[in-house]
């Protein structure tokens, strides 16, 4: 009985930690859409020559668009 309680307590702790990390990752992620280019100020063929545009998921040049679209 005691082992079962410990098991569920540990399970609850691990699930709580996983949920907290997921929310933190969502809150701090770059970009608002599925791709960084969706709200990047350089998302234009003249401003960005990267081959990953418009589907970049990682980009060191990403800068969020300051004006709402
Ligand atoms: S700089 Fe990066 S994120 Fe911005 S449009 Fe170009 S590829 Fe996309």
- For residue range 7-66, what is the model confidence (pLDDT) as tens digits? 999 999 999 999 999 999 888 888 778 899 999 999 999 999 999 999 999 999 999 988
* Ligand 1 and 61: CB distance under 6 A: yes
Model pTM score: 0.63
Distance CA 6, CA 54 (A): 49
Token pair 């970049």 is found at 56
Q: Residue 40: is it exposed, middle or buried by C-beta count within 10 angstroms (0-12/13-18/19+)? A: buried
Q: What pLDDT was estimated at residue 24?
A: 92
Please state the atom number of ligand 1 nearest to the C-alpha of residue 40: 4
Query: What is the sign of the dihedral through the CA atoms of 41, 44, 50 and 51?
Result: positive
Chain centroid to Cα 55, Å, comes to 15
Q: What pLDDT was estimated at residue 1?
A: 76
């Amino acid at each position: 009985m005691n082992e079962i309680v410990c098991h569920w307590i540990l399970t609850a702790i691990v699930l709580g930690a996983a949920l907290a990390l997921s929310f933190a990752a969502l809150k701090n992620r770059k970009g608002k859409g599925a791709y960084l280019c969706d709200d990047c100020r350089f998302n234009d063929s003249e401003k960005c020559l990267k081959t990953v545009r418009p589907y970049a998921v990682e980009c060191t040049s990403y800068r969020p668009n300051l004006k709402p679209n």
